[in-house]
Amino acid sequence: MTQQSPETIHALAYGAYPARCLQVAAEIGVADLIDDEPVPVDKLAAARGAAPGALDRVLRLLTSFGVFEERDGGYAHTDASRVLRDDHPMTARPLLRLMGLPLHLDSISLLRHTVMTGEPAIEVLQAGGLWGYLREQPDDAEIFNHAMTSKAAADGPAVVDAYDFTPFGMIADIGGGRGHLLRGILDAVPDAEGVLFDQPGVIEALGFPDHPRLALRAGDFFDEVPAADAYVLMHVLHNWDDERAARILATVRRSAAPGATLLVIENVLPDERPAPAALTMDVIMLALTRGRERTEGELSALLDAAGFRFTGMTETSGTMRIAEARAV
């Protein structure tokens, strides 16, 4: 056993506490109180109704990870802590607020149930699982939707930079939420048009298209999707088990002409090297849904069975990977 082995185990054993400190800092909005100069902890605590000593100990722990910096009698920003601000273009605050909700914290506490039964932990907490929980808890659902929108906005630029969308005249974003990725694609490809496809409630909330080359269409991707030259599925398939993921792909294939391109954008697991962030997301999917993060081989097999030929993987500067396939 190496000298590092006990340290690794201890770091993992205590890891919930730094994570919860980060969530609490995001929940109460500490980062928004700090600008260019350090702010004393008493002032931070007073602004948020917190206990100064307790807040100081939480922030002191975060500084050990490079989140915030303690100097000149107060706490100042680092590059990492600035991402906690609401006004940061890649803000992580909505995601951290989501991770601090009971749907996550309680599901983690029930992970042993999932390991022993194979059933999502959240189904013990709520009939209907994750989607049932969000229907029953509208305030939490709003936080969930905000987090998904924020994550799409953060991941989108890396996808647009990594992949050449110029060959496509019509691009359909299937399950595209509020359309941050598709708008970014259309801004980068002046000759392309796009159709944003999602559930009726999502599309109705958007109202009217806010981009001259963007169309909105409501529907169910288990039944039908609009025709296009290229189809984008970002953060979609990993929410579903293989049977339902196959149904989604089959729906897209019925709409796609031979040669049409399909892009699956997710935390696709490399077949041969470790990927801690993607593997963590895989366990989150295990606890919250019946979905999973898939390896390149697993995803390729699903695509092949649905009538697509896997043609390659494109890396991005972020955590997402782009699996490309063609309709055959």
The answer to whether residue 146 is catalytic is: no
Instruction: Evaluate whether 171 touches 214 at the Cβ level (below 8 Å).
Output: no
Residues tagged active-site = 238
